[in-house]
Structure 1
């Protein structure tokens, strides 16, 4: 069977069209022979993200970016289309995180899978887009507050110096210079004193060494004395003293309670009353002896009988008289 030129030409044209479509889509990142899933996400800024940029899940490349363009709703948001060639399934609540691929620039998208029991993300679904702060953004976040603080400190220092210049007039500045000169003189004097002290210590070094040796010898003797005191039978002496004190306390307690001769003497009021009565009678006797000595002392040359008196001082006459 002979094929006509028209058929051959038609076949070539159709094959060319098919190859053109396949090649064009391949260059755009689409593989018409591969059953990959297509997803979309939206960002405010995708600086550094380009077509054919890898799509990763936990660091593993599973697809690539197909196209980047405006969303078309007048919001200036950017719509990113990407494919996932892997059969790995994840929830529709998963996120598409935009991150930096290195220090020299460039960005990629990482699918952060969610396993929350929600329906799986079907091809054509739109995932929530998030942006992971890069190194430059983290540095800016740290440096911006520091820069503000440095600017505030610089402003404060400038204000302080301005106020200082306003406060210190020429006379005050002259006084400050004079004070600094005086301080310099004090430092010079202090240095001289230090040198003299060093010289004096150098001359008296031998005496100081002897004094230190004597102090060391004295401390050694004190150590020996303390050892001797520690070895002495102080505990037995203290125990004997404590026992003596306890006996003394017992004796005093017995006296206070009226036990024994000393206790009765100290606590029996009758002895005091008897002594007081005897003393009073002795005083009366002495007084009567002074006033009436003849009652007690009788002297007779011829042996005359002495007169007798009663207790009241009346003369007792003999019945013969």
Structure 2
């Protein structure tokens, strides 16, 4: 062998060893022909890269080989992740490949959630994928609606303060200051009134005591009177009232009947007419006595007989006689 050939063989061996060692350090053994490849589609991969580890029940079984964009129309923009599994552990096509982060500061990895029902997964199959939300992602998702609400509150607060600024102009502030001053004056007046009231009470304390004592005596006397009234025989009072009512009923019956003189006077029309006629005659007699007193009364100082009474004619009759 020539030196050039030996040198070329050595260089090739070094390059091959370097590539194998590099892949071995990444966890991929190029000499292992049992590796299987699977694909998973995600909308987002959350920091997943080609060096990410693939685990199954916590055991490292492979790594991510390739991440490309999906070119199909219906899923354009999605990411297709191809990973290799070097372990011959069997699981079905219904298994789920989840993107997770082992700690908040580390990158994302793939975890196979095995399912044993259904057809077994073979190299080249498309598996179902999902993404486990990390601590920061979940905090971000919870902070997003909170941020929206805070923005809305800030906008409303800004509108409120704008309205307050419009209301609290110089005139309004002056009116408020004057109102506060008036309230202070009212409070001072109330304090003075309270002081005067206290002075009046202090000065008339003895009179108040006397008044209260008199009120107490009056209430005691009223209670005694009420107690004495309760001792009165109510039954006797009721009986007397019933007797009075019965007597009144008897009196009304007699007045309505024609037996007594008062009943006849009230109920007999003839007696009423006679009394009325007698009254008229008595009225005529009194009128005649007033007009002609000589007809009924005679006075004589010397025993002279009075002249016989001659009724005087009215003026109209006297003219006819003449």
**Could you state the TM-score of these two structures normalised by the residue count of structure 2?**
0.48
Q: TM-score, normalised by structure 1?
A: 0.48
